[in-house]
Structure 1
Amino acid sequence: TTRQAGAVTLHSYAFPYHKTAGERVLNTAAQALDLYSRLFSPYPHEHLAVVEADFLDGMEYDGLFFLSYGFYNLDNGTPAQYLVALTAHETAHQWFYGVVGNDQALQPWLDEALCTYAEKLYYETYAPEALTWWWEARVNYYQPRGYVDDSIYNPHGEAQPYRAYRDAVYLNGAVFLEELRKQIGDEAFFDFLRMYVNENRGKIASAQDFFRILRQTTRAPLQPLLERFFQNVP
């Protein structure tokens, strides 16, 4: 199925028995595309494809992403579900990975933390009634911990390396961004995100770029907050 979101054509590829879920994904992606285009920068392509996949989890590419059939199987008809949250997440990767690149092995938080927090921005805008569900089921349930700037290589020798990676990089990363936003205020926070995207468009951004631009957009005392969440603060 297809639909327009401004000048962008969205394509949803779903198995026949997931027609309704596929339409929900298409509508969610269209909403997220419009929101992120306004908050970060215009979407750079004419098309975006969302493909139901026969493997677990989601996977982003530039102009295309996969979502697991498992999310479609559990479609409950409301925004309070992983099918919607992960669609918003993978759409955000079109900016944080697509427009602005990063080292996804050594500094994965530069895309995954931002994309996880972008889910929250989606819920704030389009489904505020499900925002409490998002915090509780997506983030707080797992009691996220760990340094946001961990790599994918299990640097602390965790017994459950994926769980530790996800809790630190994705979920604690979202907690950090929420606390940062509260500390510096919405105006400075969104000015920072736009500046970060625009200055690093088509480049491989680094943590040093992130912190440098952040400090340019606010005079708030950031060091205590940064040292709580990061092991390496340039």
Structure 2
Amino acid sequence: MTAQDSFHIFTKKIGKYPYKEIDITEGLLGKDTGGMEYPGLIMIDASGFLQKKHPLDRYNELTEDVSHEVGHQWFYGTVGSDEYMEPWLDEGLTNLLENGVYDLTYTKSKSYCAKLMHSKFYTRKNVKRANKILKENANQFINKNQKANYINYPVNNPPKGVDTEDMAYKLGMDFPAVLKVAMGENKFFDALHDYYQTYYLKQATTQDFLNIISKYDN
């Protein structure tokens, strides 16, 4: 359900999926590895469900992992990039699809997940409220002229005091998430669609991404 919801949302927001199918398989990928992506193939870690009485939050983790790996079919699987030299470019944009698009859209899969977790908090109203709060936070960040965090570093040389994973995933997502608010959603997704179409089945760099963004909002 999560894969289907994510696929339809990302297709609508970003562009057409280039391959004939997506195959998803489960496996035991090890600690702190939720999944692994390849063009047309997704592997999802199932180790969290080995015990009968697994924590209920495993269901939520599963939707996050599946949505994230499906998102990689767009950024990495279709628009290629150098995962070592510019890890933010696929992980950050994919994290945005997972947290800033799928999570902020009311879906049947998330609703079912909430049911499995016995949670009553997942409602259309609360999803709308979450969108509003994140927009307010982004505007606060913009208006306060926060100190810059550079994200286009290679894996072996992150900024001092910054964890490699945070640089690629968290800060890598924060940049386009704030950009979405600064530009406005329509302009941002028009630019993202343009970036996707321009580098469809090609290799892109951070500068290529910035060049496309600048066409829509300088």
State the TM-score, normalizing by the size of structure 2: 0.73
Partner of 1:12: none
1:146–1:167 Cα contact (<8 Å) kept: no
Is 1:98 paired with 2:77? yes
Tell me, in whole angstroms, the C-alpha distance in 2 between the residues paired with 1:107 and 1:123: 25
Tell me, in whole angstroms, the C-alpha distance in 2 between the residues paired with 1:77 and 1:153: 32
Tell me, in whole angstroms, the C-alpha distance in 1 between the residues paired with 2:55 and 2:16: 30
Residue ranges of structure 1 left out of the alignment (5+ in a row): 1-26, 137-144, 220-234
Q: What code does the residue aligned with 1:65 have?
A: I
Tell me, in whole angstroms, the C-alpha distance in 1 between the residues paired with 2:192 and 2:160: 33
Q: Which moved more, 1:32-41 or 1:47-56?
A: 47-56
Tell me, in whole angstroms, the C-alpha distance in 2 between the residues paired with 1:157 and 1:76: 37
Report 1:75-86 matches (<5 A). 76=56, 81-86=60-65
Tell me, in whole angstroms, the C-alpha distance in 2 between the residues paired with 1:82 and 1:147: 28
Larger proportion of strand: 1
Tell me, in whole angstroms, the C-alpha distance in 1 between the residues paired with 2:48 and 2:92: 21
Partner of 2:204: 205
3-state SS of the aligned residue for 1:50?
strand
1:32–1:88 Cα contact (<8 Å) kept: yes
1:71–1:82 Cα contact (<8 Å) kept: no
Partner of 2:171: 172
Tell me, in whole angstroms, the C-alpha distance in 2 between the residues paired with 1:28 and 1:82: 11
State the TM-score, normalizing by the size of structure 1: 0.69
Tell me, in whole angstroms, the C-alpha distance in 2 between the residues paired with 1:185 and 1:101: 26
| 1:48-82 Cα deviation digits (max 9, x unpaired) | 11111111211100001111123445573896x21
3-state SS of the aligned residue for 2:155?
coil
Q: What code does the residue aligned with 1:91 have?
A: V
Is 1:150 paired with 2:182? no
Partner of 1:227: none
Higher relative contact order (CA 8 A, sep 6+): 2
3-state SS of the aligned residue for 2:42?
strand
Report 1:206-221 matches (<5 A). 206-219=205-218
Partner of 1:183: 182
| 1:154-190 Cα deviation digits (max 9, x unpaired) | 34576xxxx8111111011222222111111011110
Question: What do you get for the CA RMSD once the two structures are aligned?
Answer: 2.6
Match of 2:68 among 89, 94, 103: 89
1:100–1:197 Cα contact (<8 Å) kept: yes
Partner of 1:55: 29
Aligned-pair identity in percent equals 29
Q: What code does the residue aligned with 1:68 have?
A: D
Q: Which moved more, 1:69-78 or 1:57-66?
A: 69-78
Partner of 1:113: 92
| 1:30-53 Cα deviation digits (max 9, x unpaired) | 110111111111111221111111
Q: What code does the residue aligned with 1:35 have?
A: I
1:146–1:164 Cα contact (<8 Å) kept: no
1:72–1:83 Cα contact (<8 Å) kept: no
CA shift, 1:150, in A, is 2.1
Tell me, in whole angstroms, the C-alpha distance in 2 between the residues paired with 1:106 and 1:36: 26
Q: What code does the residue aligned with 2:23 have?
A: A
